[in-house]
A and B are shown apart, each in its own frame.
Chain A
């Protein structure tokens, strides 16, 4: 690089930095306000993994359709208020894919790698709404009824096809509690965050002898992700298997529509495997003018 060009390059890289410095040091007081609203979960969900596989593709279809129909029948028969079935995405797989991986691990080579057996999978969700209106006892009774019906129907809990769910929830957790009407809760949280910011800014203005003016800018801060917990051996194993699945082994086709990316990244923070009040938190960077 020639010596003549070097100042231009330095200028080019320093430009955004200087601009941001200028922005940070614009007129006014900038503070970060947080607002948290806690709400009782309103829905509870559990995933039922439906899988049909067989020596003949037709068998896989018959098994899959039969199981799906029986899940719907089971829900109808349970006659629990607010309980419904939400269909998930459909996946077509080679049922022998995972066996081939295991054979490779066992040192048996990849002799089964070309064998094929169709498996159709769908993760259906059993969703129960209006649980905030139930007492804990009523809710537990209903959940036990559902779990019992699942077991009676021979629907596996924590089967291999449920790895994704297991990895997310952790082994042993059967249900997930969620809150609805997040927009309304967020609105309340925003109000709290702005109030909090104003309070801080007023304190700073008072201390510096200035008078607080209008809000000149608001920046929505992404929530800080909590410390990553150390993975248990089971979770590590599951994530390893998931990684293999992602690498395409055993995966034939995925008909599941891609979910829109959750840019706020906090969808999961509005759910909990524990029945407790779920917090909805927001953070805002608010700049007030000084008069």
Chain B
């Protein structure tokens, strides 16, 4: 197992390296604003723009620019400075990461807490109103854009502009270390929005998987041994049926990051997603590179954790 993890980490590093190259190429291949001109401002003289271009290293050939970036990254662990406000990229990311992690972790916990019981009940009570409701809910969740759901949630439930003022709304986020209670309150609505986007689909998937598992011989054997139905479903059914969900979770963490960008925007949560979005608008390559690297590393680590979880859940994988 340790060897597998080590191998996956090395491969992950290769993927991250490739990611930096692709990001770099896309930045210069697609039309974007000229960073030097953007920084120089309106009416700046050609000399000023050129001085800024040189100061940012943009006057070097592209391969040299990329190699300089790599050299700093690999030898010094330096992600560089923002072209927009000259702040260290690592500092910017470190300041934003807790908000995004809070948002994502809470949303995952919430949607699994919703999806697992609902999917299990829907599978056990096939054809019931609950089963049909889970199916319909999944369709609605899949078709409703996160941004729209976020706005709707605010207009309905936010304590400042909502029809039924229940929960803190946009701009209420504070770091956990500053005020844990306000942190929790401010994240409930964003968590609900993200959980709604994914929870229905997971419940539907678990239901389908569990229906199939409950028909398998090992489940029939468990029932024949006289185990309680609850124990049969949870120990012998859900534990097996949940495997596809774990796999899906690894894949969905990337999508979740995309959803988090939108939720961060609607709720004004200062996270990585919004940092990346702003950086793209400002043609701020160092920040774009930094956020892409962090997001890529997050997806790689998440997939690694999924593999580990697989091994923990499935004794056959552990045995290999």
The reply to whether chain A is a binding partner of chain B is: no
